[in-house]
Amino acid sequence: MGDSIEGLAALVTGGGSGIGLGSAKVLLADGAHVTICGRTEDRLIAAVAQLEPLVTSTGSIRHIVADVTDEAQMEAAVATACGPTGGLDILFANAGGSFHMGPFLDADISAVRATIDVNLTGTIISIKTAATAMAASGGGSIIGMSSGAGHFPHRYLWAYGAAKAGIEMACRYAAEELASAGIRVNAVQPGIIDDELMEFITAGGALLDDYLAETPAGRVGTVDDVAAAVRFLAGPGSSWITGEMIAVDGGHHLRRGANYGLLFG
């Protein structure tokens, strides 16, 4: 058996692009039944078209439109993910985003609330709905999406960072509580990743230079770097790991956070 995930059922939130799509590719190629969800159906349909060639004899791919901040929609997403096998084995709670950037004193509180809602509340709802299904079918693995910004300060990225820090603590609480049901809960903390979300930085400029100067490995990360960590946490090879936050950042956490003030001149 080793680290096989063949025939297991997985749900990836925010699976239509970026790290979510990259992780879905790895899970699918390794034989899982993968369901991706997100808010934009056109994006999900395009993602499924990319993923279909990777389907193996033990797996399958499907999508469902769902907003992680809506509990009923996430219950429907979990039910869809359970369809192929009758249970759920893997959740990658990847959906998130940032609607606020800038100083505390200038903060648009509605944007701060939206940032907290999609990241922290959305992850809590995802964990609740997925863990309910996992507990009924013997357990599983949940992976949350944090960020280096949730672990150490990145100037002017505090709303996003605070939401991600909340995800980390929610994952620790869930890991402690759900272990008796056979459910492991961990999270990844990516650094700067060359994907759609961060392309306004990775295209070049002072902020990218700042990131690279504070990253010992000296390069931008890739979607595949994070997907590999997600795959490890999803499979039985990490069966005695729970409540852990894994930095996937080329060592950025060993230095200081990025200065997003460089975007403001």
Residues annotated catalytic, as ranges: 160
33: tokens are 């039944």
Per-residue CA distances from 252 to 126, 140, 157, 212 (Å) = 28, 30, 16, 9
Sequence-separated (6 or more) residues with CB below 8 Å from residue 45: 63
- Residue 163, strand partner residues: none
